[in-house]
A and B are shown apart, each in its own frame.
Chain A
Amino acid sequence: EPEVTQTPSHQVTQMGQEVILRCVPISNHLYFYWYRQILGQKVEFLVSFYNNEISEKSEIFDDQFSVERPDGSNFTLKIRSTKLEDSAMYFCASRPDLSRWSNSPLHFGNGTRLTVT
């Protein structure tokens, strides 16, 4: 069964450094997401992406964050200058359909654990 893959599984970085988290969504999927879970808290929405542009973003997704789909397969999340509070598990997800409103379940990757020291 096709799956969403994320790399790396664990990333350690120093405060102020840039990080890029990588995701390969399922190949025929069209809508892509980033979520994160800070330890002990709820899974939080960051951003959704469709047709090479951001569809929705949360208040967490400020100017320090960016997403892109550089080559038609990878979907990346960049954090320009990491802060301690960015430490979290970051999940990529995708779904096959086009509609902003959809009943399709999301397919999640295994996550990247980001630790900012």
Chain B
Amino acid sequence: ILNVEQSPQSLHVQEGDSTNFTCSFPSSNFYALHWYRWETAKSPEALFVMTLNGDEKKKGRISATLNTKEGYSYLYIKGSQPEDSATYLCAFNDYKLSFGAGTTVTVRA
């Protein structure tokens, strides 16, 4: 069983503030890392699939970086808005996706 860890488990952010959180994964046999955003009562929605060491991807105010040598990825939210409130899941692609427990972000207006 692959150990994919996310921290923190939850965080509260004031509207307009920026935040970031971490996903750590095994650094050996890396293929790809996925990030998903999961809003309550909805389906997890893909944000990024990251494959190369040093990759940085951006979607609006959300961006992610990847370090495969040390086995971590950061997700950043710039200028948080209430609609960013969700659980953010990372998943290590060992052909079946092994998920972390998620970071639940609550943005306070």
**Chain A residues near B (Cβ < 8 Å):** 3-4, 33, 35, 41-45, 48, 56, 58, 91, 100-101, 103-111
Q: How many residues of B contact A (CB 8 A)?
A: 23
Interface pair B41/A110, CB less than 8 Å apart: yes
Which residues of chain B have a CB within 8 Å of any CB of chain A?
31-32, 34, 36, 41-46, 49, 51, 89, 91, 93, 95-102
| Whole-angstrom CA separation of A90 from B18 in the bound complex | 33
* CB-based contact B46/A106 at 8 Å: yes
Taking a contact as CB atoms under 8 Å apart, the answer to whether A103 and B49 are in contact is: yes
CB<8 Å pairs between A and B, sample of 15: A4-B43, A35-B97, A42-B100, A42-B102, A48-B95, A58-B96, A101-B93, A101-B95, A103-B32, A103-B49, A106-B34, A106-B46, A108-B36, A109-B43, A111-B43
B49 touches A56 (CB 8 A): no
Question: A56 and B96 in contact (CB under 8 A), knowing A103-B49, A103-B51, A105-B49?
Answer: yes
3 tightest A-B contacts by CB? A105-B46, A108-B43, A43-B99
Smallest CB gap from A108: residue in B: B43
Which of A45, A101, A106, A110 is B98 in contact with, Cβ under 8 Å?
A: A45
Bound complex: CA A91 to CA B98 (Å): 14
Q: Which residues of B contact A33 (CB under 8 A)?
A: 96-97
A41 and B49 CA atoms in complex are apart in Å by 23
Q: Chain A's nearest CB lies how many Å from the CB of B51?
A: 6
Complex CA gap A88/B89 in Å reads: 18
